């Protein structure tokens, strides 16, 4: 594990992609059979493969407790170190060096030992048992090794490593074509297995595995309708942009699962969709959006929020906020008649959208309105700016957020903001931010943590930079629930202000963006308010300073149609 930590450090210190790839390739080639898959997965910054449903279930709080157990370090020490570095793993290294923590090198854990501990932590029940296992592991680590472990566990691998870079390194290490590596990577969703297949020259054996979610294709920003046509034209497909949450439905026989955008199994949250899919006569994977829908009408995203983050919905909530699945893509298809559940599933990712949609239209999906739980996305064709604007207005009239514009010839690119899909929304917009600090509120909100300070990401430094502060627009029940969470995930306390683990994503509405030196982002928002908690989004998906700059410039020019990386249309503030 120490070698892995050192390698991660060296890659982080290198700015050139070709050098990073070369360092990684040499390292991967040098590993033993059992080290290779583990090292590759850790290099993508996670303890388990992405499509794996396991998570170690260790928050920063547990990591901090374990560090406190290993050496006599207080939370205050760690909080102060975190403030210096804005990086938990560096803070951990720093305090362990300061505490003189130096176990003998021969007890330093190997990669398989670290992986085994992560698996044990995952299956241990309760925070105390988990923290004990982590304490035992960290006690054996010198500060640099501990830093590597915290990077993986804290999901903090800011070494410029993205899956794409690890794939390039795998291709180089074992001298395989990059395209073949990428394709096998998409199908398996497990970079460890991918490394093994590449090493053994078996990339052609990779198969799409049902019930292992594929990464979702995302949409890119564009400037305006004319720009969209230039990029995707001459003929583009226009689909309504539904304001729900993204979901991937996998089905084989009567086994049905739904996965969220962060690849978690959310089947239990939407039992009506799962039950409606069970009897259907096909096997495969569809991509779509879960939408709150009642009496033939779309309900606003805020209604759907009552269904999020709960393990399973009560009958009352199911009746109040019924959901449907809007299908817009077909990613794999197998035969309906598959009694042994072993038939091969054909991946359709590299088929053009036109073909995927044709096949989606041909499968059985009982429609909402006729007693079913599905609709297919509303689809049209546009060849000029006027047609795009009309389609946009029509989609809004159907109570949707805006328009998704797609190139009918495009393939499905999992995990990429491909150029095949663009999104079109109207100002005013919202931005997705992460909460970095909270304070006790005033008046009626006294005693609860209701004032949030939030940040966007600066892609140049990969740091979180503050953009504003808002009093919660959440319900009392949500505030109470979030207060408990923030108390358990406080990094440091400064008077009334608590610096918290930066993982809660909120969607912020505002009236105007202004340039401001007050915040690290260089911008501040007029009348910011919390439009929604976004438990479906991870901190990797928050908006960036670049998006805010584009929004700012768009608003300056008073552009009617804003097409941004992460903006959602909301009504202006009352008054």
Residues identified as active-site:
241
Query: Please, what is the minimum distance in Å from the beta carbon of residue 568 to ligand AMP?
Result: 6
323-334 and 374-376 beta bridge pairing: parallel
Helix, strand, coil percentages for the chain (3-state, nearest 5): 40, 25, 35
Inter-residue contact 367 to 422 (CB < 8 Å):
no
Residue 225 and residue 388: Cα distance in Å, rounded?
Answer: 7
Query: Please, what is the minimum distance in Å from the beta carbon of residue 404 to ligand AMP?
Result: 4
Query: Please, what is the minimum distance in Å from the beta carbon of residue 324 to ligand AMP?
Result: 13
DSSP 8-state code for residue 214 = P
Cβ nearer to ligand AMP, comparing 163 with 289: 289
Residue 458 and residue 542: Cα distance in Å, rounded?
Answer: 10
**Strand runs labelled E in 427-543:** 430-440, 449-458, 463-471, 490-494, 497-500, 505-509, 512-515, 523-526, 529-533
Query: Please, what is the minimum distance in Å from the beta carbon of residue 423 to ligand AMP?
Result: 5
Six-digit token pair at 502?
A: 């930066």
Cβ nearer to ligand AMP, comparing 23 with 379: 379
Query: Please, what is the minimum distance in Å from the beta carbon of residue 425 to ligand AMP?
Result: 7
Query: Please, what is the minimum distance in Å from the beta carbon of residue 217 to ligand AMP?
Result: 8
Residue 534 and residue 380: Cα distance in Å, rounded?
Answer: 30
Summarize as ranges the residues that interact with ligand AMP (CB under 6 A): 218-219, 239-242, 246, 289, 328, 377, 404, 423, 566, 568
Q: By beta-carbon distance, which residue lies closest to ligand AMP? A: 246
Residue 152 and residue 43: Cα distance in Å, rounded?
Answer: 8
Cβ nearer to ligand AMP, comparing 328 with 486: 328
Q: Among residues 66, 52, 38, which one has the least CA distance to residue 130?
A: 66
Cβ nearer to ligand AMP, comparing 91 with 405: 405
Residue 522 and residue 292: Cα distance in Å, rounded?
Answer: 37
Q: Which parts of 241-306 fold into alpha helices (H)?
A: 271-277, 301-304
Query: Please, what is the minimum distance in Å from the beta carbon of residue 471 to ligand AMP?
Result: 25
**C-alpha neighbours within 13 Å on the C-beta side of residue 498:** 23
Please provide the DSSP assignment of 346-399 as one string. Answer: EE-TTS-HHHHHHHHHHS--PBTTTT-SEEEPPEEEE-SHHHHHHHHHHHHHTT
Query: Which 3-state string (H, E, C) describes 508-542?
Result: EECCEEEECCCCCCCEEEECCEEEEECCCCCHHHC
């Amino acid at each position: 594990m120490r070698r892995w930590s050192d390698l991660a450090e060296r890659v982080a210190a290198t700015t050139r992609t070709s050098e990073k790839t070369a360092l990684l390739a040499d390292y991967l080639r040098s590993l033993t059979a059992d080290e290779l898959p583990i090292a590759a997965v850790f290099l993508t910054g996670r303890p388990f493969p992405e499509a794996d449903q396991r998570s170690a279930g260790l928050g920063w709080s547990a990591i901090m407790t374990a560090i406190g157990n290993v050496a006599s370090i207080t939370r205050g020490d760690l909080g102060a170190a975190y403030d210096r570095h804005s990086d938990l793993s560096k803070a951990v290294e720093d305090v362990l060096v300061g505490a003189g923590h130096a176990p003998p090198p021969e007890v330093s854990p190997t990669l398989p030992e670290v992986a085994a501990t992560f698996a044990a932590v995952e299956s241990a029940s309760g925070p105390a048992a988990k923290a004990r296992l982590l304490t035992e592991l960290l006690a054996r680590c010198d500060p640099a090794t501990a830093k590597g472990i915290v990077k993986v566990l804290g999901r903090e691998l800011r070494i410029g490593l993205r899956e794409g870079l690890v794939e390039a390194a795998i291709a180089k290490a074992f001298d395989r074509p990059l395209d073949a590596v990428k394709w096998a990577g998409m199908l398996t969703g497990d970079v460890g297995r991918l490394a093994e297949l590449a090493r053994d020259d078996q990339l052609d054996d990779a198969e799409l595995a049902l019930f292992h979610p594929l990464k979702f294709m995302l949409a890119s920003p564009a400037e305006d309708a004319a720009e969209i046509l230039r990029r995707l034209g001459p003929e583009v497909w226009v689909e309504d942009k539904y304001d729900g949450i993204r979901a991937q439905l996998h089905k084989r026989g009567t086994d049905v699962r739904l996965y969220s955008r962060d690849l978690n199994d959310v089947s239990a949250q939407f039992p009506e969709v799962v039950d409606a899919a069970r009897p259907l006569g096909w096997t495969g994977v569809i991509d779509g959006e879960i939408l709150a829908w009642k009496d033939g009408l779309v309900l606003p995203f805020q209604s759907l929020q009552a269904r999020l983050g709960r393990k399973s919905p009560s009958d009352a909530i199911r009746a109040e906020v019924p959901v449907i699945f809007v299908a817009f893509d077909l990613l794999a298809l197998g035969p309906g008649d598959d009694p042994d559940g072993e038939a091969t599933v054909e991946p359709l990712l590299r088929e053009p959208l036109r073909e995927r949609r044709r096949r989606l239209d041909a499968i059985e999906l009982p429609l909402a309105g006729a007693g079913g739980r599905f609709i297919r996305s509303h689809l049209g064709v546009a060849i000029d700016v006027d047609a795009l604007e009309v389609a946009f207005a029509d989609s809004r009239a159907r109570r949707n957020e805006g328009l998704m514009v797609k190139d009918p010839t495009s393939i499905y690119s999992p995990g990429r903001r491909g150029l095949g899909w663009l999104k079109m929304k109207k100002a005013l917009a919202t931005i997705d931010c992460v909460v970095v600090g909270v304070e006790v509120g005033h008046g009626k909100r006294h005693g609860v943590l209701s004032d949030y300070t939030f940040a966007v990401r600066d892609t140049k430094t990969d740091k979180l930079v503050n953009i504003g502060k808002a009093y919660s627009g959440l319900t009392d029940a949500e505030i109470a629930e979030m207060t408990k969470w923030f108390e358990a995930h406080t990094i440091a306390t400064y008077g009334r202000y608590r610096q918290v683990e930066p993982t809660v994503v909120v969607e912020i509405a505002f009236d105007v963006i202004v340039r401001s030196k007050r915040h690290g982002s260089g911008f501040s928002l007029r009348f910011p308010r919390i439009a929604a908690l976004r438990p479906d989004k991870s901190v990797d998906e928050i908006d960036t300073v670049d998006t805010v700059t584009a929004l700012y410039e768009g608003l300056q020019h008073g552009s009617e149609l804003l097409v941004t990386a992460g903006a959602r249309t909301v009504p202006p503030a009352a008054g």
